């Protein structure tokens, strides 16, 4: 047997975790966060909202069903690094094309395994999200501290322009029932959102995040979709200004970062959560119906409910910490949710929101 190569995870407050190299041998930095989902690791790895983040999986075994060509949310792995307890290197699923370790190596993603991921998670919960560095090539703590000190914090970072498409393109599909023309603004859009919009009868064109309002209005869509994405929403000033110009002119639906950008455009404020919401089992209450939805989530910032202007109402609330999960504007056709109704991975409780968008456009 080959001897396992050592690896270190060092957090910016000095906490050390020693384990084994996993995936590509090298070094990587990013904000360390955790995801509580027991499945969906391939979708998590390819979700653009995880740009510049090192993801810790709290489930103990990762890789059980391997990697396939279908369950991806973008054209590449987006995470900066990956932290797991144990790797399943012999996948058991008829759809599997390769083990997860090989997948990470192919995409040159540095990871670490054989560490206590419960301890990492509890540390982040107690002390808040923070930057970290994983290395299997430099095991000198002082050297790693020096490298880590140069990494910027997530607050103030505009990462949407890193993951956004550089030019507009049409979402090609075999669907023949395309009734509604939709302009999707790409701040880091997930493929399953596009799939569900398509299933709802939408003909979708994806635009770069820095597209102007004038260009969108010239395209003349039936509705505008604001996508998910990474980073600090308040730093996406071009997106906020664009949405301000579009309010009242076309129906608008936003998810995750799109929810935050819409809220900021309407006059609300956002703030950094202590350790974020990332998983597929978060309870959210629909304030209109009183029903509870189990939701998929991935965000490190939230909309300040106390800052909502009078023409904006809160539609959904997180039952874990009472933070904002959805808003609706009362005088223009615009609404958004913080969580992920496309639920890839996750439960399908919130798929009705896509139909809500269709109803606004059908008016």
Q: Which residues are catalytic?
A: 256, 340, 342
SS3 of the chain: helix, strand, coil, percent, to 5? 25, 35, 40
Q: Is the dihedral of CA 217, 219, 221, 226 positive or negative?
A: negative
CA distance 88 to 136: 20
| Strand, helix or coil for residue 5 | coil
Tokens matching residue 102 = 């090989």
Nearest CA-CA partner of 48 in 248, 194, 266: 194
The answer to whether the peptide bond before residue 345 is cis (omega within 30 degrees of 0) is yes
- 322 phi and psi, to 5 degrees? 65, 25
Q: Token match 């609300």: residue?
A: 268
């Amino acid at each position: 047997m080959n001897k396992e190569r050592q690896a270190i995870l060092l957090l910016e407050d000095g906490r050390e975790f020693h384990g084994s190299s996993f995936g590509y041998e090298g070094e990587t930095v990013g904000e360390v966060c955790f995801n509580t989902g027991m499945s969906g690791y391939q979708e998590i790895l390819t979700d653009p909202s995880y740009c510049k983040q090192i993801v810790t999986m709290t489930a103990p075994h990762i890789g059980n069903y391997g990697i396939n060509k279908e369950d991806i949310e973008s054209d590449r792995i987006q995470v900066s690094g990956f932290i797991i307890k144990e790797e399943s290197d012999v996948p058991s699923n008829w759809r599997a094309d390769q083990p997860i370790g090989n997948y990470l190596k192919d995409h040159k993603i540095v990871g670490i395994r054989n560490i206590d991921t419960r301890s990492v998670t509890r540390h982040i919960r107690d002390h808040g999200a923070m930057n970290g560095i994983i290395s299997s090539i430099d095991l000198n703590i002082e050297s790693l501290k020096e490298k880590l000190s140069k990494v910027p914090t997530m607050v103030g970072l505009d990462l949407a322009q890193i993951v956004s498409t550089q030019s507009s393109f049409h979402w090609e599909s075999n669907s023949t029932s395309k009734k509604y023309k939709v302009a999707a603004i790409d701040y880091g859009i997930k493929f399953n959102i596009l799939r569900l919009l398509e299933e709802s009868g939408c003909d979708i064109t994806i635009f770069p995040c820095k597209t102007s309002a004038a260009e969108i209005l010239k395209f003349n869509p039936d509705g505008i979709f604001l996508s998910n994405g990474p980073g600090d929403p308040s730093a996406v000033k071009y997106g906020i200004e664009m949405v301000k110009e579009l309010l009242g002119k076309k129906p608008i639906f936003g998810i995750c970062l799109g929810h935050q950008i819409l809220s900021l455009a309407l006059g609300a404020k956002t703030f950094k959560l202590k350790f974020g919401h990332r998983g597929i089992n978060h309870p959210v209450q629909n304030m209109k119906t009183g029903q509870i939805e189990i939701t998929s989530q991935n965000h490190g910032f939230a909309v300040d409910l106390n800052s909502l202007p009078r023409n904006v109402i809160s539609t959904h609330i997180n039952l874990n910490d009472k933070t904002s999960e959805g808003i609706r504007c009362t005088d223009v056709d615009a609404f958004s949710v913080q969580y992920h109704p496309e639920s890839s991975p996750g439960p399908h409780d919130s798929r009705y929101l896509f139909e809500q968008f269709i109803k606004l456009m059908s008016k």
